[in-house]
Amino acid sequence: MRPWRAAPAAGARVALVAPAFALPDGALGGAVAAIEALGLSVAVGPHAACRSGPWAGDADERLADLAWALTAEDVDVAWMARGGEGTAEVAARLPWAAVVARGMPVVGMSDITALHGGLCRRGIPSVHGAMPTTGWDPFQAGAAWRALTAPPPWTLDAPPGAPPPTALRGGVARGPLVGGNLTVLAAIAGTPLAPDTRGAILLLEDVDERAYRLDRCLVQLRLAGMLEGLAGVALGTFTDCPPVAGLTAEAVLERHLRPLGVPVLAGLPLGHGPVQSAVPLGVEAGMDADAGTLTVLEAPFARAGARAVG
- 171 contacts 289 by C-beta, under 8 angstroms: yes
Nearest Cα neighbor of 158 from 74, 253, 265 is: 265
- For this structure, is 272 an active site residue? yes
Compute the Cα dihedral for 70, 71, 77, 81 and give only its sign. negative
- Contacts of 101 by beta carbon, 8 Å cutoff, 6+ apart: 71, 310
Nearest Cα neighbor of 56 from 88, 78, 91, 81 is: 81
Distance CA(149)–CA(301), nearest Å, equals 8
Q: What is the DSSP letter of 217?
A: H
- For this structure, is 128 an active site residue? no
Task: Give the Å distances, CA to CA, from 168 to 61, 88, 156, 203.
Answer: 43, 31, 18, 14
Nearest Cα neighbor of 156 from 282, 264, 286, 257 is: 286
- Contacts of 1 by beta carbon, 8 Å cutoff, 6+ apart: 123, 125, 176, 282, 283, 284, 298
- For this structure, is 254 an active site residue? no
- Strands 172-181, 201-207: parallel, antiparallel or unpaired by DSSP? parallel
The single residue of 47, 116, 272, 298 carrying the catalytic annotation is 272
> Does residue 104 sit in helix, strand or coil?
coil
The single residue of 47, 126, 205, 209 carrying the catalytic annotation is 205
The single residue of 61, 110, 128, 277 carrying the catalytic annotation is 110
Catalytic sites, residue numbers? 110, 205, 272
